[in-house]
Structure 1
Amino acid sequence: MSEEPEKKPIFYDRWAFRYLAIACLALIACAIGATFYNHHPKPLKENRFAKRDIHAGSSRAILTLASGKKISLDEAPNGILAEESGASIVRTGSGQITYAVHESALSSDTVKNVGVNHLETPLGGQYQVRLPDGTKVWLNAASKLTYPASFDPGAERKVELRGEAYFEIAQIANTPFVVFSGKQRVEVEAGRFNISSYPNDEAIKTTLLEGMGKINSDNIIKSGQQSINKKGNLEIIPANTKEAVAWKNGLFLFEDESLETIMKSICRWYNVEIIYVNENARKELFSLSVSRFDNISSTLKSLENTGFVRFKIKGRKITVLR
């Protein structure tokens, strides 16, 4: 009887199985990681500006008294800062001063000797002032307001503006409030309005939110209208009031506005210089709605998300790329 050939046992290397399992797990992990990266690339892009980010502006201004004394308001304590022309100048909180007029200021002698004050914000600054008549003014970045420490009772209340400001006028019967900005004169009895009058802008824009006023004596502007004054050529159009006062409400809000106009606002608020690689980019139209208190990277990222523009930050210079 023939014998069956002897069957030799087969030995499996258990370590080989372990290595194979580890390799499979590694491949699976890589596949999952690649899939996650492909679907979630944004964090890397959003960090592109992280090391070069620039903070938003804040409440900063210089008050110059009639004597020539300058007071840095962001460093000044709350309370009375000075007494001038029958009024106490008081810092009431962060970003605000008020003029408390004494009864003695109403005398003719005091009025004749009234001093002129200047409130000036730097690039990256804004401030609020309550004038001697109770009018409230919000001053935007890189702006200057000139006004008396007390107004002459019964006479026109006159102030001068360079830059941008929002006004809430205290109504006083038969006493118009007049704002001079560049070669423009705006007169109102009461109401709320915004004037943008930067020297490097092509036009002075006056937006009336409430009330009625006169521009250069013979042009009537009503609530909900905006005047555009280009070198004396005046046009009155329906206003986008939300856009006009968005800065005062803590927003960048632009609807189909040129990139140049948007970048000017960003330049003033973040205190940066804008450089264009392609000059044609200036006229491209964009819409934007973001907080003014975000860092500049967040604001620029919102514009980049359109896919039509990119930016590079180096120091305080912003290069516009296309």
Structure 2
Amino acid sequence: MNTESEKKPIFYKTWAFRYLAIACLALIACAVGALFYNHHPKPLKENRFAKRDIHAGSSRATLTLADGKKIILDDAPNGILAQESGSSIIRTGTGQITYAVNEKGADADVAKDKGVNSLETPIGGQYQVRLPDGTKVWLNAGSKLTYPASFPPNKARKVELIGEAYFEVPKIVAKSLIPGNDTTINVTFIVVSEKQRIEVEAARFNISGYPNDESTKTTVLEGAAQINYYNLIKVDQQSTIGVDGLQITAANPKEAVAWKNGLFLFQEESLETIMKSISRWYDVEIVYTNDAVRKELFSLSVSRFDNISATLKSLENTGLVKFKIKGRKITVLR
């Protein structure tokens, strides 16, 4: 039988083992905690614009018919909306309408010369239209396109633009109007916009000519364009009409049509120009606390469909400018 003195070492060994186990567990817990802290994603910084953020624009426009009737296209159903000058006006989906010329219906109606329509986008809106001749037009925010519901045969196709639009014009071949002449001619397409007249036969090009801009710019992506009768703009060139008259320079086509592709894309552009584009798309007022910052040059590449905070934060990351949002007013801080 064991004595008390013989039991004590076992008792002490048992408690020593327990202390050692507890210490090991504590070390393991600390190691796991450190590992979790280092590898677990840290909470993102709070977006200081979150409570005052502003959503991007969307597909919105108003179609005005020859008789003055207005159709709000964002509320209109898909299908035939109206019949004008031998054409059916069809809403084919969100953000687009097309003109389908009815067989034998166009000639008689066009002779009356009454089928003038207009498509107008509000600030914060954009829309796409396929004209009766097959020309595709993307209309940017705060813009207006006026055009005939059916183009007369053998005559120039003429439209008028206020604001900004991208055009894809197909080639149209027709018989000569000269009596006894059986040759064919290429029917021209004419765009009359702020301070200019653009004439093409088949081309892809962008025109930006808002009334409150300092200049009107036309960029050719395919084909060629004749501006104001005597000047030719070729592929990857841009004409600028401003206080210094007409200038033709090399262009960045991707930058010119970025808006149509859902982007804000600017390379070394003045903040004032960038903020004008932002104000038209997000429907906001821009206020400057320091006029000098207007001329500062910035580069920007963000989605047009993000909230305004993403766009403003991209500019703030340069460290040169900050913004404050109050309602629909954006204050530019130096």
TM exceeds 0.5?
yes
Query: What is the alpha-carbon distance in structure 2 between the residues aligned to residue 154 and residue 289 of structure 1?
Result: 44
Give deviations 1:138-189, integer Å, cap 9, x for gaps: 0000000000000001100000000000000021022100000023100000
Query: What is the alpha-carbon distance in structure 2 between the residues aligned to residue 221 and residue 54 of structure 1?
Result: 38
Q: In the alignment, what sits opposite 2:332?
A: 320
Deviation at 1:104, TM superposition (A): 2.6
Pair 1:135 & 2:121 matched = no
Query: What is the alpha-carbon distance in structure 1 between the residues aligned to residue 91 and residue 111 of structure 2?
Result: 23
Q: In the alignment, what sits opposite 1:9?
A: none
Pair 1:230 & 2:232 matched = no
Q: Which amino acid aligns with 2:310?
A: S
Change (3 A) 1:231 1:216: farther
Change (3 A) 1:298 1:109: closer
Query: What is the alpha-carbon distance in structure 1 between the residues aligned to residue 121 and residue 109 of structure 2?
Result: 32
Pair 1:167 & 2:167 matched = yes
Q: In the alignment, what sits opposite 1:10?
A: none
Deviation at 1:93, TM superposition (A): 0.1
Q: In the alignment, what sits opposite 1:116?
A: 116
RMSD: 2.1
Query: What is the alpha-carbon distance in structure 2 between the residues aligned to residue 146 and residue 293 of structure 1?
Result: 27
Deviation at 1:113, TM superposition (A): 3.3
Contact 1:227–1:234 (Cα < 8 Å) also in 2:
yes
Which of 280, 286, 296 is equivalent to 2:308? 296
Change (3 A) 1:191 1:312: same
Q: Which amino acid aligns with 1:321?
A: L
Q: Which amino acid aligns with 2:274?
A: I
TM-score, normalised to structure 1, is 0.86
Pair 1:152 & 2:152 matched = yes
Q: Which amino acid aligns with 1:194?
A: N
TM-score, normalised to structure 2, is 0.83
Which of 273, 284, 288 is equivalent to 1:272? 284
Gaps of 5+ in 2: 1-29, 174-185
Query: What is the alpha-carbon distance in structure 2 between the residues aligned to residue 232 and residue 90 of structure 1?
Result: 43
SS of residue matched to 1:127: strand
Q: Which amino acid aligns with 1:71?
A: I
Q: In the alignment, what sits opposite 1:24?
A: none
Q: In the alignment, what sits opposite 1:71?
A: 71
SS of residue matched to 2:272: helix
Query: What is the alpha-carbon distance in structure 1 between the residues aligned to residue 269 and residue 43 of structure 2?
Result: 30
Gaps of 5+ in 1: 1-27
Deviation at 1:48, TM superposition (A): 0.4
Deviation at 1:115, TM superposition (A): 1.1
Query: What is the alpha-carbon distance in structure 1 between the residues aligned to residue 244 and residue 90 of structure 2?
Result: 38
Give deviations 1:70-117, integer Å, cap 9, x for gaps: 000000000000011110000000000000001234425533334110
Q: In the alignment, what sits opposite 2:45?
A: 43
Q: In the alignment, what sits opposite 1:182?
A: 194
Deviation at 1:303, TM superposition (A): 0.5
SS of residue matched to 2:49: helix
Q: In the alignment, what sits opposite 1:18?
A: none
Q: Figure out how many residues of one structure are paired with residues of the other and give that number.
A: 290
Contact 2:107–2:152 (Cα < 8 Å) also in 1:
no
Query: What is the alpha-carbon distance in structure 2 between the residues aligned to residue 237 and residue 193 of structure 1?
Result: 15
Q: Which amino acid aligns with 1:296?
A: I
Give deviations 1:253-278, integer Å, cap 9, x for gaps: 00000000000000000000000001
Q: In the alignment, what sits opposite 1:204?
A: 216
Query: What is the alpha-carbon distance in structure 2 between the residues aligned to residue 143 and residue 208 of structure 1?
Result: 20
SS of residue matched to 2:305: coil
More deviation, 101-110/79-88: 101-110
Query: What is the alpha-carbon distance in structure 2 between the residues aligned to residue 237 and residue 179 of structure 1?
Result: 20
